[in-house]
Structure 1
Amino acid sequence: MLHLRRTILSLALLMSLACLPAHAQDDASQSQGTRKTTNLPAVNVHAEDWRKYQKAKLMYQMPEVDGPKITVTKKTTVTHLDNQPTVIGNNLNQALARTPGVLVSEQPTPTQFNFSYRGIGNPQESEFVLVMQDGIPMEGDWIGFPTLYAFPMTQSLSEIQLIRGGSSLLYGPEPAPVINVVSKRPAPGTPLTMTTENVVGEHGLFSSYNAIERNQGAWAFRVDAGYVHSDGTRANDGSQNRQADFYLAYRPDEHQQWWLDFHAISAVSGDPGRLSYTQWEQDPRTITTPYNRDWVNRDQLVLCHTHDFGNNWSLEAKLWFTYQDLVSRAANPQLPGAPPPSSTTLQDEAFRTYGADVRLRKNWGHGNAFTVGTVLFHGNDPFRQWSNPDLMVTRDDHSGTQVLNEKRSTQYQSLFAENVFRLPYRFHFVPSVRLENEHIAVDETVRPPFLSRPLINESDSRHLPLFGLGLGNDFGHGNETYFNVSQGWRPLRYFDIASPFSNLVPGHDAQLSKSVSWEAGVHGAPVTGLYYDVSAFWIDFKNRLETQYINAIDTIEVNTGDTRSRGVEGQLDYDFFATTHWATEGQHLEAFINGSLLNARFTGSSIPGQVGKTPAFSPDYLLKTGVTWRNERVKLSLTAVSSAAQYWQDSDASYGSGETFMPARIPAYTVVDLASDWQLNHSLRLLAGISNLGNRHYFDRVWQNGLEPAFGRTWYTGFALTY
C-alpha cells in the first residue's frame, strides 16, 4: 500500500513537470537539488474601505436606501437627539438647530405648531409642510385639513429627518419638505430599564417624563408618559400637555417583525389673544381675549409588519387609525377697559382618519434597488359651531345656538415606484413616478346666520401624476454630487372648495397648487470629523394660495398666484477632537453652522401689482450655529438661530394705524440657547439650561389679527434617574 502511494505521487510530480515550459522544468530540477529561491517584484495592493465614509455620513443624513425608501440623490438631514442635551418644553428652535432652512414661527402655547420652508406658504399650523411620525402624517386630516395641532415631546424621539426634493414622491402631498420624527425604541439586549425625568423652571414650568422599556429575546416593549405645565407669560396663557406612548414588538424569527404603536397627546391652553405692534411695544403682557381657550386630543393606533422574503425581496406595511378632536372657545377681542363681548363661539372639529402604507423593495444587480408601493387614506371630519352667551362655556356644553354644521370627508389613493441604478465610475440615477388621486366633499346643514349664500353641498376629485429624476456620483474620499428634479403638489382643502365663513359663490373650486423643485449640490465626509453639504435650489410653485380678506379679521386662502424661490443652503459640522487621543476616550467638541440664503418672488398673480413682491415668511437668510461638548458624562450645548427681517403677509404692506398698527415686516432677530446634561453616576443625571440667553425682545408669529410675543429669557433645572 505504501509502495502504491509513493508510485502515484511520483507520477503526479512527473506529469506536473511535463506540463511546465522547459525553463520552468530546469528551475524545478534545480530546486530539488539546491532549492534556489527566486524573488518576484513586490506588488502593493491598496483597498479603500468605503464603509467608513458611509458610516460617517450617516451621522448627518439618511441611508441611501432606507428600508423600502430610496433617498439617494434627495437632499436629507438627520438630527440625532441623543447627541445633544435634552430639549425641555418642546423648544423647537433648539431641537431643529441642526436642521437647515426650517423656519419655526414660535407660539408659546402647545396647541399649534408652525413650520415653513423656503418661502412656500404661511407657517400657520405648518399647512405647507408635511410633518410625520414614523412615516405616518400627523396633520388633522392629511388631505382636507393639513394642520399641525399636536407634536410629541422631544424626549420620546430618537431623531428628526428632513427630506427636501423628491419628498412628495416618497410620501405624497405637500410640495416640500417632509419633517419625519422617529420614535425611540429599546436597543436589542436592553434589560428592564426605568427612567424618570423631572424639571422645574420659570413661569411655573413643571415637566415630567417617565419611561420603562425592555428588549430581550423575541419580545420588546417601551411605555412612556409625560406631563408639562406652564403658567405662560400673560394672564390666560397657562397650559397643560399630557402624552403617553406604548410600543410592543414581536420578532418570531430573524426574517420578520410585528409591532404595535399607540400614541396619545392631550393639550389644553388659554388663549390670551394677539396684539398689535403698538400694544406689544407698550406692554407685551397685554391680553385681548381673556375668555378664550383651546383643547386638543389626538390618539393614534398603528400596526406594522416587516418581512424579508428571501431572494432580495422585503416588505414594510403599516395600518393606522387616528382620532383627533380640536375644540376652541373664542370670543371677540376686548381692548383694555372695554366691556366684555356678549357671546362666545364654541367650535368642535373632529377628525377620524384611516390609512394604509404598503411598500416592497427588491435589491438586484450590484447595488441596485427597486421599490413599489401604495397609500390609501380616508377621513371623516365633522365641523360644528355653537354661539353661547356664557363666556366660560365648557368644551362639551352644546346648549348654545348651533351656527354651523358640516359633514366633511376625504379619500386619497396613490401608487408609486422608484429605482436606483448603479452605473460604472460610481454614477447612479433614480427615476421616480407617483400617481395621485384625491376626493373631497362638504355637506352643510347649518350655516352661520350672518351669511346669505345657499347651504354648501360640494365635492371634487383630482387626479395627477408626479415624476422625478435624481442623478449622483461618488468621488474622492466620501464625497457625492447630487442633482434632483421632482414635482410636488398641495391638495385641495375643505376651505378651498367652499369656505363656511364667506358669501363666495360655490362651484368655483381652486386649482391644485403644484411645484417643480430643482436642487444640485455636493456633500460628504472627506476627512475624519468633518461633514459638509451645500446645494443650490430653485422651486417654481404654481396656483399658490394667497390671502384674501373676508372682513377686518377673518380671511380665506385662494389660488391666485405663482412664486419662484431660489437660493443656496448649506451646512458644515466639525468635531475638533475627532483626530486626537480624546476621541478614543469618547470626547467630542462639535461646532456646526448651517444657513439658507433665499430669494423668493411672485412671478404671476391675479392681484394687481403683486408680481415682483416677496412672499410672506421668506427671510433673505436663516442662520443656525452652535457648539456642543459631549462625552459619557457631559452634554453641553450653546446654539443660536438668526433670521433676517421678513414680511408677514404677501402684500408686503403694513396694516392698521394707531392701536391696531402692524408694520410690514417682522424685524430681524437672533436668539441664543444654552442647555446641559450632567451624568453624575450611572443612575443620576442633572439637567439645566437657559433659553433666549440674551433676553431678546422679539416676535416671529403674526396673523391677520395681530402678533404673539415670544418668550423672553427663561431658565429650567431638574434631574433624571435611571434604574
Structure 2
Amino acid sequence: MKFNILISASLCACAVAAFGQDTTHIRNLDSVIVRRNEGKAGFSHLHDVEGTSIYAGKKTEVIVLKDVVANTATNNPRQVYGKVAGLNIWENDGAGIQLAIGGRGLSPNRVANFNTRQNGYDISADALGYPESYYTPPVELMDRIEIVRGAASLQYGTQFGGMINFKLHEGPTDKKFSLTERATAGSWGFFNSSTSIGGTVKKWNYYAFYQHKSGNGWRPNAEFNTNTAYGSLTYKANEKLAVTFQYTFMDYLAHQPGGLTDADFAKDPHQSVRARNWFRVNWNLGAVMLDYKINSHLQFNTRFFGLMARRDALGILTFIDRVDNGETDRDLYKDHYQNWGNESRLLYNYNIGKVASTLLLGFRYYQGHTDREQGFGNNGTTGHGNDFSFTPALQTDTLRYSDYIFPERNTAVFAENIFRITSRFSIIPGVRFEHLVTKADGNYTNVAFDLAGNPIDPQKVMDNKINRRSFVIGGVGATYQVRNDIQVYANFSQNYKAINFNDLRTLNPNLRVDSALHDEKGYSADAGIRKTAGVLRFDVSLFMINYNNKIGSILSVDPQTSIIYNLRTNVSQSRHIGVESYVEADIWKWIAGDNAKTSVSIFSNFSYLSAKYVNSKEKVIEGRKVEFVPDIIFKTGLMVRRNKWTASYQFAYTGQQFTDATNAVFTANAIDGKIPAYHIMDLSAEYTFSKMISLYGSVNNLANTMYFTRRADSYPGPGIVPSDARSFYLTLQLKL
C-alpha cells in the first residue's frame, strides 16, 4: 500500500515535469525578505545569505506555518513536519508538550541531536552538557521553522543532526494594535486557549502571547496542564540600528501513565499500570539582541541569552513488568539549570575583482551550571500525589541518593566564506575552533547486592571530574545555479558531540553507563538538487554520516543478579547512508494556469536509510542496524484550496526499527525490542468566514490505528509508550 501511494504521487509530479512549465515569472528575491512569494506550499528553503548567517551549500528546509493546514493546537509533529524528509518522530503525549524528532538515524529524544534555538538563541536545558529541550514553543506562536542539516556544525555548534530554529511571530508593522484569539476543544477533555497582541507604535514594535492547554489524555493517569507566555519588544532607532528584548515563560505539570509490556500493549494499549508518575517543568528564558547595519557592506548582530529552569520527575522507574502495589518507593529526579551566553556575528560583502564574495566571522561564549539530585520522593511508599520533595534525612537513609553540580564553559570562534567563482558557481569553506571545559562535582551511594538482590554495605562516594579539550573542525560546500529556480548543492562537514550529564552519572535501574565513555567524533556529507518555484518543486539528496565512536545502548545481563539492563557505551563506528526526497506539484494550476482560483497540490516525501555498526570489537553488534533507524520513512498528502476552504489529507509510514545495538526483538521488561512499522492518516480543514473569523477542524489518526513509536528506559515509561487513538479537534479563531 505504502509503495503504491509513493509511486502514484511521484508519477503525478513527474507528469508535470514532462509537460514543462512557464518559468518567465520566476524572480530572485532579496534575501532579507521573510515572507517569500512562493505560493502557499508551506515549505521552502533558506537563501544563501539571510541576516548574518550563511546557508549556501547546505541542506536547508523552512516550514512556513501560515500555509500549513494542521492541528497546531496540539503541535501535531506528523503534520507540522510532514514535508521534511527523513524525520523519525517519537510521540510522548497527544498534546505536543515536548517535541521529539531525529533525522538520519539519530535519536529523537527531546531533539537532543539538533542544536535547538528560538529566534537564533539556545533554548535547551544545557546546550553543551544536556542538550535536551523540555520546552518547545507552541506552533501557534511560530511564524516558521528553519532546519539546517549536519553542515550547520560550523556555525551553530557541533551536533551531528544540525540546527532547528523556531522563528516566532512579530507584531505587524502596519498597525498600532492587532489581536488574535484562538480556542480549541477536543477529545478526552482537551482545551487550548491562546491570546496574542502586537503592533508598531512609532519606533517600537511589540508582540505578546499567552497560551493555556489542559486535558485528560487518552489513557488513564494522563492529565496535563501547561501555560506558556512570551513577549518581544523591538526598538528601531533608525534604518541601521535595532535592539530587541524577549522573554519566555513556560510551566507544566503532567501525570504520566507509564509504559507497557508487549503483552499488555497487545491486550489493551489504552491501559495504564502506573498511577503515581508525575513530571513538572518550569522554564524562564530571556534574550537581548542588537542588529546594526554598519554600512552597505557590513552587518553586525550580537545576542545575549540566559535560562533559569527546573525539571522534576517523580515515579516508579523499576521494570514495567513488575506490579506497583503502592508500597514501593518512588524515584525522584530534580534538575535546576542556570546558563547564559553570547553569540556575535559580523557579515562582510566584498569583491574579488568584479566578483562578489561574502565573509562571516563569529564568536560564541557559553557558560552553564546544572544542579542535579536523584533519590526517593517524600511519602514514596504511600504517596500518590505530586509532592516533588525528597524523603527526610535522605542523604543518610537512602541507598539511591546522589547530588551533583555540572558546571561547564564553551568558547568558540568560527568563519565561513562564499567565494563566487562565477555568477552560477560558488565554493563555501568554513572552520570552527572549540574550547570545552566540563566538570562533575558531587557524591553518590555505591551499593553492592547479594544473589537475592539485597543491598550490602552501602558507601557514600565523593566524585570529582574535569575534562578540558580544544579542537578545530572544518568543512566545505558548493552550489551551482542551473537556472533561477534550480540549484545543485553539496557539502562536507566534521562533527563533534560531547558526552552529556546522563553519561557522567545516572541512577536508573534500567541503565548503566560505561565509566570510560568519551565524546563522539565524525563527519557528515550531503549532495542534492532542488527546485524552489513553479507548479513543481522538489529537493532530492544523498547523505552520509560517519561516527568513529558512536554512543549507543547494548542489551546486557548482570551475571550476579541476572537483571537485564542497557549498557550505555561507545558502541562502535557507525555509518549512515541514505537518500531523501521531497516532491510537490500543484496539478490544478498546471492544468488551468497560474490564475486559477483552485489549488490541488500533491506532495511525496520519501527517505531510505541504511545505518549499520562497522569495525566493532563486539561481535554481537558487528553489522547490526543502528538503533532508532527505520529503513523507510514515507509521507504523502493532498491539499485542496478553493476560495475560503482549505483541506489537507496526509498518510505517513514509518518502517520497523530497533531500540538497542544488538537488535533485540523482545525483552520481558519491554525496554528493548522491535518497534513495528506503522502507518497513520490525518485529516484537517479550515474555513475563513471573513478577515476576522476562521474555523479549523482536524481528525488525527483517522483509521484509529493502535501503534507505538518508542520504548523508554525512563520517563515517560519505562517500556512501550502507546500513541493516541483517533481524536477530534475544533478551533475557532477571532482576529482584529
Specify if TM > 0.5: yes
Of 606, 613, 624 in structure 1, the residue corresponding to residue 617 of structure 2 is: 606
Q: Which has the larger radius of gyration?
A: 1
Query: 2:535, 2:590 within 8 Å by CA — same for their partners in 1?
Result: yes
Instruction: Determine if the alignment matches structure 1 residue 243 to structure 2 residue 243.
Output: no
Q: 1:661 to 1:216 in 2, by over 3 A?
A: closer
Q: CA deviation at 1:509?
A: 4.5
Residue number in structure 2 paired with 1:358? 344
Query: 1:448, 1:501 within 8 Å by CA — same for their partners in 2?
Result: no
Gaps of 5+ in 2: 1-22, 396-400, 448-454
SS at match of 2:337: strand
Q: Hey, what's the Cα distance between the residues in 2 that align with 1:172 and 1:620? A: 28
Residue number in structure 2 paired with 1:15? none
Of 579, 601, 614 in structure 2, the residue corresponding to residue 590 of structure 1 is: 601
Instruction: Determine if the alignment matches structure 1 residue 456 to structure 2 residue 457.
Output: no
Query: 2:514, 2:569 within 8 Å by CA — same for their partners in 1?
Result: no
Query: 1:405, 1:447 within 8 Å by CA — same for their partners in 2?
Result: no
Query: 2:660, 2:672 within 8 Å by CA — same for their partners in 1?
Result: no
Instruction: Determine if the alignment matches structure 1 residue 383 to structure 2 residue 350.
Output: no
Q: CA deviation at 1:425?
A: 5.2
Residue number in structure 2 paired with 1:672? 681
Q: Hey, what's the Cα distance between the residues in 2 that align with 1:539 and 1:248? A: 41
Residue number in structure 1 paired with 2:332? 346
Residue number in structure 2 paired with 1:546? 552
SS at match of 1:190: coil
Residue number in structure 2 paired with 1:720? 733
Of 577, 591, 600 in structure 2, the residue corresponding to residue 566 of structure 1 is: 577
Q: Hey, what's the Cα distance between the residues in 2 that align with 1:503 and 1:270? A: 21
Instruction: Determine if the alignment matches structure 1 residue 117 to structure 2 residue 103.
Output: yes
Q: Name the aligned partner's letter for residue 316 of structure 1.
A: N
Instruction: Decide which moves more: 128-137 or 292-301.
Output: 128-137
Q: CA deviation at 1:650?
A: 1.6
Counterparts of residues 206-225 of structure 1 (less than 5 Å): 206-225=191-210
Instruction: Determine if the alignment matches structure 1 residue 95 to structure 2 residue 102.
Output: no
Q: Hey, what's the Cα distance between the residues in 2 that align with 1:255 and 1:191? A: 22
Query: 1:84, 1:635 within 8 Å by CA — same for their partners in 2?
Result: no
Instruction: Determine if the alignment matches structure 1 residue 150 to structure 2 residue 113.
Output: no
Residue number in structure 2 paired with 1:489? 496
* Matched residue count: 674
Instruction: Decide which moves more: 451-460 or 299-308.
Output: 451-460
Query: 1:319, 1:357 within 8 Å by CA — same for their partners in 2?
Result: yes
Q: CA deviation at 1:137?
A: 2.2
Q: CA deviation at 1:80?
A: 0.4
SS at match of 1:656: coil
Of 686, 689, 712 in structure 1, the residue corresponding to residue 698 of structure 2 is: 689
Q: Hey, what's the Cα distance between the residues in 2 that align with 1:202 and 1:624? A: 25
Q: CA deviation at 1:392?
A: 3.3
Instruction: Determine if the alignment matches structure 1 residue 319 to structure 2 residue 311.
Output: no
Query: 1:328, 1:395 within 8 Å by CA — same for their partners in 2?
Result: no
Q: Hey, what's the Cα distance between the residues in 2 that align with 1:484 and 1:529? A: 28
Residue number in structure 2 paired with 1:51? 28
Q: CA deviation at 1:131?
A: 2.0
Instruction: Decide which moves more: 185-194 or 71-80.
Output: 185-194
Q: Name the aligned partner's letter for residue 492 of structure 1.
A: I
Q: TM-score, normalised by structure 2?
A: 0.86
Query: 1:441, 1:494 within 8 Å by CA — same for their partners in 2?
Result: no
Q: Name the aligned partner's letter for residue 559 of structure 1.
A: N
Residue number in structure 2 paired with 1:10? none
SS at match of 1:284: coil
Q: Hey, what's the Cα distance between the residues in 1 that align with 2:546 and 2:696? A: 45
Q: CA deviation at 1:550?
A: 8.3
Q: Hey, what's the Cα distance between the residues in 1 that align with 2:24 and 2:224? A: 59
Of 270, 276, 283 in structure 1, the residue corresponding to residue 268 of structure 2 is: 283
Instruction: Determine if the alignment matches structure 1 residue 397 to structure 2 residue 397.
Output: no
Query: 1:270, 1:292 within 8 Å by CA — same for their partners in 2?
Result: yes
Residue number in structure 2 paired with 1:274? 259
SS at match of 1:166: helix
Residue number in structure 2 paired with 1:171? 156
SS at match of 2:155: helix
SS at match of 1:496: helix
Q: 1:353 to 1:288 in 2, by over 3 A?
A: same
Query: 1:312, 1:364 within 8 Å by CA — same for their partners in 2?
Result: yes
Give the superposed CA RMSD: 2.7
Residue number in structure 2 paired with 1:20? none
SS at match of 1:409: strand
Of 628, 633, 641 in structure 2, the residue corresponding to residue 630 of structure 1 is: 641
Q: Hey, what's the Cα distance between the residues in 2 that align with 1:631 and 1:376? A: 50
Residue number in structure 1 paired with 2:5? none
Query: 2:671, 2:711 within 8 Å by CA — same for their partners in 1?
Result: no
Query: 2:317, 2:508 within 8 Å by CA — same for their partners in 1?
Result: no
Q: Name the aligned partner's letter for residue 575 of structure 2.
A: R
Q: CA deviation at 1:635?
A: 2.8
Counterparts of residues 429-440 of structure 1 (less than 5 Å): 429-440=427-438
Q: Hey, what's the Cα distance between the residues in 2 that align with 1:503 and 1:579? A: 56
SS at match of 1:279: helix
Q: Once the two structures are superposed, what CA deviation does each residue of 1:406-444 show, in whole Å capped at 9, x if it has no partner? A: 111111111000000111251100000000111111111
Q: Hey, what's the Cα distance between the residues in 2 that align with 1:459 and 1:325? A: 24
Q: Hey, what's the Cα distance between the residues in 1 that align with 2:699 and 2:303? A: 40
SS at match of 1:278: helix
Query: 1:84, 1:628 within 8 Å by CA — same for their partners in 2?
Result: no
Q: CA deviation at 1:240?
A: 1.2
Residue number in structure 2 paired with 1:31? none
Q: TM-score, normalised by structure 1?
A: 0.88
Query: 1:57, 1:531 within 8 Å by CA — same for their partners in 2?
Result: no
Q: Hey, what's the Cα distance between the residues in 1 that align with 2:460 and 2:284? A: 36
Q: Name the aligned partner's letter for residue 346 of structure 1.
A: L
Q: CA deviation at 1:270?
A: 0.8
Q: CA deviation at 1:336?
A: 8.7
Query: 2:443, 2:460 within 8 Å by CA — same for their partners in 1?
Result: no
Q: 1:407 to 1:447 in 2, by over 3 A?
A: farther
SS at match of 1:275: coil
Query: 1:499, 1:556 within 8 Å by CA — same for their partners in 2?
Result: no
Q: Hey, what's the Cα distance between the residues in 1 that align with 2:586 and 2:25? A: 23
SS at match of 2:177: strand
Instruction: Decide which moves more: 255-264 or 496-505.
Output: 496-505
SS at match of 2:699: strand
Q: Hey, what's the Cα distance between the residues in 1 that align with 2:593 and 2:663? A: 52
Q: CA deviation at 1:216?
A: 4.4
Instruction: Decide which moves more: 49-58 or 63-72.
Output: 49-58
Query: 2:546, 2:576 within 8 Å by CA — same for their partners in 1?
Result: yes
Q: Hey, what's the Cα distance between the residues in 2 that align with 1:510 and 1:628? A: 48
SS at match of 1:203: helix
Q: CA deviation at 1:578?
A: 4.0
Q: Hey, what's the Cα distance between the residues in 1 that align with 2:699 and 2:435? A: 47
Q: Hey, what's the Cα distance between the residues in 2 that align with 1:497 and 1:570? A: 38
Q: Name the aligned partner's letter for residue 335 of structure 2.
A: E
Q: Name the aligned partner's letter for residue 272 of structure 1.
A: P
SS at match of 2:257: coil
Q: CA deviation at 1:126?
A: 2.7
Q: Hey, what's the Cα distance between the residues in 1 that align with 2:504 and 2:214? A: 39
Q: Hey, what's the Cα distance between the residues in 2 that align with 1:85 and 1:517? A: 33
Of 200, 204, 219 in structure 2, the residue corresponding to residue 234 of structure 1 is: 219
Q: Report the identity percentage.
A: 21
Query: 2:616, 2:622 within 8 Å by CA — same for their partners in 1?
Result: yes
Gaps of 5+ in 1: 1-45
Q: CA deviation at 1:380?
A: 1.0
Q: Once the two structures are superposed, what CA deviation does each residue of 1:571-611 show, in whole Å capped at 9, x if it has no partner? A: 11222344576744764332211111101110133323211
Q: CA deviation at 1:341?
A: 3.0
Of 416, 419, 440 in structure 2, the residue corresponding to residue 418 of structure 1 is: 416
Q: CA deviation at 1:668?
A: 1.0
Query: 1:78, 1:160 within 8 Å by CA — same for their partners in 2?
Result: yes
Q: CA deviation at 1:192?
A: 0.9
Q: Hey, what's the Cα distance between the residues in 2 that align with 1:90 and 1:444? A: 38
Q: 1:286 to 1:306 in 2, by over 3 A?
A: same
Instruction: Determine if the alignment matches structure 1 residue 374 to structure 2 residue 363.
Output: yes
Q: Name the aligned partner's letter for residue 402 of structure 2.
A: L
Instruction: Determine if the alignment matches structure 1 residue 706 to structure 2 residue 719.
Output: yes
SS at match of 1:167: helix
Counterparts of residues 472-483 of structure 1 (less than 5 Å): 472-483=479-490
